[in-house]
Amino acid sequence: MAKYIGKRIKRTEDPRLIKGLAHYVDDIDLPGTLHVAFVRSMYAHARITGIDTAEAMKAPGVVAVYTGKDIATKIGPVPCAAALPDLKVPDYRVLATDKVLFVGHPIAAVVATDKYTARDAVEYLYPGVYLEELPAVVHVIDGVPTSPVIHEHFGDNIAYKLTSGEGDIDAAMKAADRIVTQKMIHQRLAPIAMEPRGVLARYFPGEEELTVWSSTQIPHLLRTQLALMIGIPENKLRVITPEVGGGFGSKLNVYAEEALLGWISMQLGKPVKWIESRRENMQATIHGRAQVGTVEVGVKNDGTITGLRYNVVADLGAYHQLLTPAIPTLTGLMLSGAYKIPAIQMNVTGVFTNKMSTDAYRGAGRPEATYVVERVMDVIARELNLDPVEVRRKNFPKASEFPFHTATGLDYDSGNYDGALDKALDLSGYQKLREEQKKARDNGKLIGIGLSSYVEICALGPSQAMPAGGWESATVRIEPTGKVTILTGTSPHGQGQETSFAQIAADELGVDLNDVTVIHGDTGVVQYGIGTFGSRATAVGGTAVLIAIQKLKEKAAKIAAHMMQCDASRLSFEAGCYTREEAAAAAATGKSEPVVPVGEAPGGALNEVPTPTNGRTKLTIQEIALAAHIAKEIPPDTEPGLSATYFFEPKNFTFPFGTHICVVEIDKDTGETKIIKYVAVDDCGKVINPLLVDGQVHGGIVQSIGQALYEEVIYDDQGQLVTGELMDYAVPKAAQIPWFETDRTETPSPVNPLGVKGVGEAGTIGATPAIVNAVVDALAPYGVKHLDMPMRPEKIWKIIHA
Amino acid sequence: MKQAISINVNGVDHTSEVEPRVLLVHYLRDVLGLTGTHVGCETSICGACTILIDGQAVKSCTMFAVQADGSNITTIEGLAANGNLHPVQEGFWECHGLQCGYCTPGMILTSTQIIDRNPNASREEIRRGLEGNLCRCTGYQHIVEAVEYAAKKASA
């Protein structure tokens, strides 16, 4: 049955991409398009005292200039979908009105006949923008900054405070032999999708229809929000996500520019385009992480954990983007890690700062939790003089204990943490590594070994736990010519679901993979969907595809039974054919039936009734599709056509897990860290396409390497963005990356019939602590117990040469 | 003041009048409609805009179109010959050397130069050769494998 599922199938989306023929937003060229550029704040915090647009308006080619005052009442605020008790939500206008609150805050939009002219006009406009600089709130390293207050009417800079967790934390701490405490910084990161954001909007005044092409991960949610912001009926608005050049959470959002472009197109009756520059991307696309916290763990002398408390300040930035305040709550959910911890408490304070908003960056709150837990496991091991493996194993739930309830309120679906750990230890030759490390240390070399046994929460998620629904949709059609069309509500942007969903469909329908087309990212074509984020596309969206196909097959079987004049219960389905039972029995004894070869569409003109069945006892699903459309030979109570739609609501999240082991060598002269071995054993449940899973794991680990060693969004004391280009923000390069040895264990998820769990974020969640643990381990001879990220050469060199 | 330029792109001669400040990448994309060459950073760090100028891999976002006057350019659209994929394109497909595809045209063109210069490049050398091109999706391993695949195929 499984001809495609589980196989390393190369991607069907690749030919257009490797030939340079794909269409990202900026590749779409509509006649008469006007170009938009933004005047953005150069200050972190300033009062706008006046804007004089006259000079800019005089420039040749300038069509219009819009300021915050012009449009304040015309476009609704940038939305925040997170609902937390007593959450303060600032009024986030698409252009600043009275104050600017972060570097990059849009102040005015300039529309011109081409992009060069638009950028020129921005320069003409800058001198006319009068700003009175105010002191900025920048750092949260020492707690909540009290002055100045960014949003004056709130009275302070606290957006919310929240306590989460279960169990008696005070009793748990009292039951411990000792309390291990560690402060940790999760630095601010930039997601850096290689394609920056971009928007093209076209309004047809006659039809009153607006089409918005946007590089987004959530076309339908964006359509709903834009309709509300702009005030256009949702059924007159179409959002299209053409090719999207990476997202990593940064395009899981609704941005000011998206609404503004749509609205401007409606004002001018012409297509308008804005393509984000990398500088704008660093300034005004969401950032990730940015937490400073202290973890306290109660632990027995044998390494058994009795309780965990995490007090954390989350740097939210100046405003809430779509999910900003919710991200730290995901940290709270995952603080049990891969361990049995009887009592857990997180106390989080979300703080406004004069910076760009933080929001979901690959992992979104879970890497922080994994880092806290996996880092502190090593701190515990060091204090108790135990091997880090031993401490972890001691606290694992056994495979027989699943579903496993955590003190963060979750029920882990399935797991075998010992299994993944054992495999990683074997694959890395852990014992031998430790011996080699000892020898190397004796020779004065700095070798470190780090591991991380992570659990992540994926397949987001049950609607009860999600701000805007957590289901996913699929429509499956078999066209009259036998070709299969899948419409998915997910919005892949590199993950490869055009291939993996086709694999699911081709197996389930018994058709050729190349006869399946997966359509996504067009609200004018695809039924409502939620989108691609939270490692959900295959587990939730793939399941929707599977169940839609099963529904379609129920109908196909009914038609087949009618055509072959038997009861549907007497049909068998295999390799794309419905066969009458007695025929199947006959075939087994060697008699053959005339059939159209599997995978081939029936020929002939569409008005030619495929007759017959003429007593035939075997029909391909393509023949049934044609019959269903011609509708002369279908049961009287059956609707013509052959398609089915399903909206899948998951009953739980899924919980992938694994163990990563990293070995580093530190150059004493330069302080540089070199990863000399990296082993990743991941368990993402059933695997649809191992090639794609490897790709997801590799990419995620490299983003972890970036966080651990190189990357940091830096604002200076005045709130000026220092890392404003890729020249200053260190995205890892090929030569900095080791060869990864990857392997898997496979523990199916009981949450969906595919048994899949999700893998999109495993690398960024699991790998960071393994790398940091390795570096800290390498520096143990210097008494280092903890080191904050990014562990750049300078930081390490200073320790070695202190 | 516009300036006349003649450039051969993918085997076709083009003569145009352009403003001296027009970047080569914008000339290729906006004037010639060859949108396979992407802009990722505008500072010649990411390499998404890499093309071949007279056989050399060059970042077209930090070069003016007028500077390319008289040159022969290959963009991603011109790499496949007679409908057959270039071995590097094939390698990227076979080895899953791309995910979102945005860095891919630049990666592929840089990779052709790596192989041209050293058909027996080691993994280490391939990684060094790719340093001017950023990929945020793949983690580079499959790209290195793709280049190895292409090198083998090209020398076969």
Q: Is A453 helix (H, G, I), strand (E, B) or coil?
A: strand
Q: What is the pLDDT of residue A590?
A: 61
Q: Is A667 helix (H, G, I), strand (E, B) or coil?
A: coil
Q: What is the pLDDT of residue A588?
A: 65
Task: Kindly tell me if the per-residue pLDDT of A600 is higher than 60.
Answer: no
A740 chain-B contacts, CB cut-off 8 A: 139, 141
Residue located via tokens 């750049």: A792
For A28, A523, A648, the CA distances from A212, given in Å and listed in that order, are 12, 10, 27
Candidates A246, A694, A727; nearest CB to B45: A727
Q: What is the pLDDT of residue A91?
A: 97
Interchain CB contact of B84 with A (< 8 Å): no
Task: Kindly tell me if the per-residue pLDDT of A614 is higher than 70.
Answer: no
For B94, nearest residue in chain A (alpha carbons): A10
How far does the CA of residue B32 sit from the closest CA of chain A (Å)? 12
Binning pLDDT at 50, 70 and 90, where does residue A463 land? very high
Task: Kindly tell me if the per-residue pLDDT of A610 is higher than 70.
Answer: no
A194–B46 CB contact, under 8 Å:
yes
Q: What is the pLDDT of residue A459?
A: 94
Reported as a single tens digit per residue, the pLDDT across A26-53 is: 999 999 999 999 999 999 999 999 999 9
- Predicted ipTM beyond 0.85: yes
Percent of chain A with pLDDT over 70: 96
B134 chain-A contacts, CB cut-off 8 A: 194, 726, 731, 733
- Per the DSSP assignment, residues forming a β-bridge with A168 are none
**Cα A717 to the center of its chain, rounded Å:** 31
Task: Kindly tell me if the per-residue pLDDT of A523 is higher than 80.
Answer: yes
Distance CA B146, CA B155 (A): 14
Q: Print pLDDT tens along chain B (156 aa).
A: 899 999 999 999 999 999 999 999 999 999 999 999 999 999 999 999 999 999 999 999 999 999 999 999 999 999 998 889 999 999 999 999 999 999 999 999 999 999 999 999 999 999 999 999 999 999 999 999 999 999 999 887
How far does the CA of residue B84 sit from the closest CA of chain A (Å)? 11
First to last CA, chain B: 51
A245 chain-B contacts, CB cut-off 8 A: 38, 100-102
Q: What is the pLDDT of residue A604?
A: 46
Distance CA B77, CA B105 (A): 9
B22–A727 CB contact, under 8 Å:
no
Report, as an integer, the average pLDDT of A462-484: 95
How far does the CA of residue B6 sit from the closest CA of chain A (Å)? 22
Candidates B42, B137, B142; nearest CB to A277: B42
For A215, A245, A318, A438, the CA distances from A493, given in Å and listed in that order, are 9, 6, 28, 45
Q: What is the pLDDT of residue A592?
A: 52
B122 chain-A contacts, CB cut-off 8 A: none
Chain-wide mean pLDDT for chain A? 95
- What tokens does A791 get? 């562990």
Q: Which residues contact A572 (CB under 8 A, 6 or more apart)?
A: A578, A579, A581, A584
A691 chain-B contacts, CB cut-off 8 A: 96
Task: Kindly tell me if the per-residue pLDDT of A464 is higher than 50.
Answer: yes
The DSSP result for B85-138, as a single string, is: PPHHHHHHHHTT--SS-SSHHHHHHHHHHHHHH-TT--HHHHHHHTTT---SSS
B33 chain-A contacts, CB cut-off 8 A: 29
A740–B133 CB contact, under 8 Å:
no
B101 chain-A contacts, CB cut-off 8 A: 13-14, 17-18, 22, 243, 245, 494
Q: Element (H or E) spanning A745, and its range?
A: none
Report, as an integer, the average pLDDT of A581-596: 62
A537 touches A530 (CB < 8 A): no
Task: Kindly tell me if the per-residue pLDDT of A97 is higher than 70.
Answer: yes
The DSSP result for A391-435, as a single string, is: HHHHHPPPGGG-SEE-TTS-EE----HHHHHHHHHHHHTHHHHHH
Q: Choosing among A18, A195, A243, which should be mutated to test the B contact, i.e. which has the most B CBs within 10 A? A: A18
Reported as a single tens digit per residue, the pLDDT across A706-717 is: 999 999 999 999
User: Strand A99-100's sheet: what is its strand order?
Assistant: A99-100, A46-51, A129-133
Q: What is the pLDDT of residue A253?
A: 98
Reported as a single tens digit per residue, the pLDDT across A307-329 is: 999 999 999 999 999 999 999 99
Candidates A18, A694, A725; nearest CB to B108: A18
A574 touches A596 (CB < 8 A): no
Task: Kindly tell me if the per-residue pLDDT of A238 is higher than 80.
Answer: yes
Report, as an integer, the average pLDDT of A524-546: 97
A629 touches A642 (CB < 8 A): yes
Report, as an integer, the average pLDDT of A5-32: 98
Binning pLDDT at 50, 70 and 90, where does residue A594 land? very low
Interchain CB contact of B138 with A (< 8 Å): yes
Could you tell me which residue, A1 or B81, shows the higher pLDDT?
Answer: B81
Reported as a single tens digit per residue, the pLDDT across A200-234 is: 999 999 999 999 999 999 999 999 999 999 999 99
Reported as a single tens digit per residue, the pLDDT across A322-372 is: 999 999 999 999 999 999 999 999 999 999 999 999 999 999 999 999 999
Q: What is the pLDDT of residue A468?
A: 86
Q: Element (H or E) spanning A235, and its range?
A: none
Q: What is the pLDDT of residue A591?
A: 54
Reported as a single tens digit per residue, the pLDDT across A69-80 is: 989 889 999 999
A737 chain-B contacts, CB cut-off 8 A: 127, 139-141
Q: What is the pLDDT of residue B154?
A: 87
Reported as a single tens digit per residue, the pLDDT across A740-756 is: 999 999 999 999 999 99
Q: Where are the beta strands (DSSP E) in A420-553?
A: 446-455, 472-478, 484-488, 516-519
Q: What is the pLDDT of residue B155?
A: 86
Angle, in degrees to the nearest 10, between helices A366-384 and A388-395 = 120
- What tokens does A390 get? 């031993």
- Per the DSSP assignment, residues forming a β-bridge with A478 are A484
Report, as an integer, the average pLDDT of A753-763: 96
Restricting to B residues 103-122, those with a Cβ less than 8 Å away from any Cβ of A are: 103-105, 108
Percent of chain A with pLDDT over 90: 94
